[in-house]
């Protein structure tokens, strides 16, 4: 199975400051169709996960533009340009190119 490794596992950020989460996969997530199937999900406290970013850098509908994704191959990053209170929760990266689909361990974001 593809192993997804996130760092850090927890993050404490002052509102208005940036935040960054790294995700590394044990195999390349680049498909022969030229797309890279790396996703970011956010699970807010007491809620189901929601899709934030698909195919490395495309924001899902309704996701604010302060969220951005980047990377290629096996190294990926989620950045929040200015953290807001509503961004608190656990962020997961996930790969969808190899079955079984696998998630990172999760990164808990809290406010300072």
Partner 1 sequence: EVQLVESGGGLVQPGGSLRLSCAASGFSFSDYWMDWVRQAPGKGLVWVSLINPDGSDTNYADSVKGRFTISRDNAKNTLYLQMSSLRVEDTAIYYCVRNRGWSRFDPWGQGTPVTVSP
- Binding test (CB under 8 A) with partner 1, winner from 22, 24, 28, 37: 37
Using CA atoms, how far apart are residues 98 and 108, in angstroms rounded to an integer? 25
Residues in the chain, total = 112
Least distance CB 13 / partner 1 (angstroms): 21
Contact criterion met (CB below 8 Å) for 78 and 63: no
Interaction of residue 71 with partner 1, rule CB under 8 A: no
Minimum distance of partner 1 from residue 14's CB (angstroms)? 26
Q: Residue 2, interface with partner 1 (CB under 8 A)?
A: no
Q: What burial class does residue 49 get, using C-beta atoms within 10 Å of its C-beta: 0-12 exposed, 13-18 middle, 19+ buried?
A: middle
Q: What is the C-alpha to C-alpha distance for residues 72 and 61, in angstroms, rounded to an integer?
A: 22
- The residue among 57 and 105 lying less far from partner 1, judged by its C-beta, is 105
Question: Is residue 100 part of the contact set for partner 1 (CB under 8 A)?
Answer: yes
Rounded Cα–Cα distance for residues 74 and 51 (Å):
20
Residue from 50, 70, 73, 110 binding partner 1 (CB under 8 A):
50
Residues making contact with partner 1 (CB under 8 A): 31, 35, 37, 39, 41, 43, 48-51, 54-55, 60, 92, 94-97, 99-106
């Amino acid at each position: 199975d593809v192993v997804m490794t996130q760092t850090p596992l927890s993050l404490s950020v002052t509102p208005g400051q940036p935040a960054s989460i790294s995700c590394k996969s044990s195999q390349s997530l680049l498909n022969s169709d030229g797309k890279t199937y790396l996703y970011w999900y956010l699970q807010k406290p007491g809620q189901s996960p929601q899709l934030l970013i698909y195919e490395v850098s495309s924001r899902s509908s309704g996701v604010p533009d302060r969220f951005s994704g980047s990377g290629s191959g096996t190294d990926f990053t989620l950045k929040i340009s200015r953290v807001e209170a509503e961004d608190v929760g656990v962020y997961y990266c996930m790969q969808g190119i190899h079955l079984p689909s696998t998630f990172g361990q999760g990164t808990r974001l809290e406010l300072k």
